[in-house]
Chains A and B, each alone.
Chain A
Amino acid sequence: MNGVHDMGGMDGFGKVEVEANEPTFHEAWEGRVMAMVRAMGANAGFNIDMQRFSRESIPPATYLAASYYQKWFLGLVKTLLDNKLVGADEISAGHALRAGAALPRGPFEKKDVTRIMTRGSFYRDAAQPPKFKVGDKVRARNINPTTHTRLPRYVRGHVGTVELLHGSQVFPDTQAHLRGENPQWLYTVVFSGRDLWGEDSDPTVKVSVDAFEPYLEPAP
C-alpha cells in the first residue's frame, strides 16, 4: 500500500536526533510490548508480514505521531482482534471476559524463549529458476497495490542493476494476507542516485533495495 510508512525520499522530517547512551527501552512498557509482539507472533502464528501490514494500516496521522513501540502496540491489538484471539469488549474492559482460544504452538512459556532468539529461515524451494542474473539491467515495475508490498515507491519505474541473488524466499505480498508463502527469487538491485533523484543530486550516491522477482521486469 502507498502508505505513510513508505517514506524513502520524503522531505520535511528534519535532522536526525541521536541520543547519547540510549537505553534499550525508555519505559518499561516498551519492553512489555516488544515481548508480547514476539511471543504472540511465535506461538499464535502471526507471520512477520501480517504484523508489518497491521502497523502500515495505522491511519497516517496516528502513525506519524506515535512512537515506535506505540505503533507496535496498535499493530498488535489490531492483529489480535483480526484473528479473534481477543475481543474489543475485552480491550475496553482491561481484562479477559472469555477463555482463550488454543494457539497453534500453545501458550508462550519460558521454554519457548530460546527458540525465538534466532531468526527463522525465509528460504523456500523455487518453482522455477531465476529470471535474472547478476549484472542484468532490470526495471522496478510501476505497481501500486493497496495491499502489502515491500517495493518502495521511490524506485518504481527506475532501472537498476542486479548485484546479488539471495535465493528463493517467502513472498511478503501474499504471505501478509495469508494467501500463501508463494516463494519468489530475491535480488539486491542497485540504482544510481541520479537516476532516482535527478541531475542535481549527489553523483557519488548509489542506493539498493532487495526486490522480489515479481517486482522486476527486464530493461532493454
Chain B
Amino acid sequence: MHDHDHDDHGSELSDTQLRVRALETILTEKGYVDPAALDAIVEAYETKIGPRNGARVVAKAWTDPAFKAALLQDASKAIATLGHFSRVGDHLVAVENTPQRHNVIVCTLCSCYPWEMLGLPPVWYKASPYRSRTVKDPRGVLKDFGVTLPQTTEIRVWDSTAETRFLVLPMQPAGTEGWSEEQLAEIVTRDSMIGTGLPTVTK
C-alpha cells in the first residue's frame, strides 16, 4: 500500500486507479487471471485492432464490385474471405450510403460497436449526448461533427440493440477514381464508417 497524502492524491481518478489495481491483485491471487494475459488483451486493442481493418474492407468494396455485392449481401461471410486481418463474428451487416440515403450507427442502450472492424469505440460514441440525440435529431448530431447533408437526403439511423453490428460503407469521393486499394484505405476515416463523417481527400 502507498502512504499517500489524500489532499494530493485523493482524487476520484486515483481512487479508481487504486481500486482497479486491488481488483487485479485479488483476481490474480485467486488464480482467475494471469496478468500477462491481460497485458496481451490490452496490447491487441492498442496495436492490432482498429479502424484500419474497416478501411481496408471499404477500399476493397470501392475497387471490386463483386466483393461489394458480397459485402452488402452478407458482410460476415464476405470479410471472412479476406483472411486473418479482420476476424469477425457472425453478425456483421454493411449498410451502403448513396446520394439518396445516409446511414448512421448508434447504440442508445450502451456501446455496441463493430470492434473487429473499428477497434474500441471512442468516448463520444459511448457518452450520453450521442446515445440520446442520434435517434431523435441525427442532423443536429451530424452538425456537431461538421457534417451537413442535403435536406432531401434520407437519414437512416441504425440502433444496435442486439448482437448485430453495423458498418457504414461510405460513398467513394469524386476524384479518387483509379486509386489503388491502399491509397483509398488511407482516406477512409473511422467516423465515415460510423456515419458521423465522410471520407476526406487531403492530397
Contacts and interface: CB of A to CB of B under 8 A. Distances in A.
B64 interface: no
Interface string B38-49: 111110111001
B177 interface: no
Contacts of A207: 135, 156-157, 159
A45 to B, nearest CB: 12
Interface string A103-119: 10001111011001111
- Best-surrounded residue of B37, B123, B129 (most CB of chain A within 10 A): B37
B44 to A, nearest CB: 6
A121 to B, nearest CB: 4
Contacts of B19: 73
Interface in A163-220: 164, 166, 169-170, 172, 186, 188, 190, 193, 196-197, 201-202, 204-212
B139 A100 contact: no
Nearest to A64: B128
Given A39-B38, A100-B32, A210 B161 contact: yes
A7 B16 contact: no
A110 B36 contact: yes
A205 B162 CA distance: 21
Nearest to A19: B123
B154 A32 contact: no
Contact of B126 (A68, A76, A152, A166): A68
9 contacts: A11-B133, A15-B144, A39-B37, A39-B38, A76-B23, A94-B22, A100-B32, A122-B91, A202-B139
Interface of B: 1, 13, 16-27, 29-34, 36-42, 44-46, 49-50, 87-91, 93, 106, 108-111, 115-116, 119-120, 122-124, 126-139, 141, 144-145, 151-164
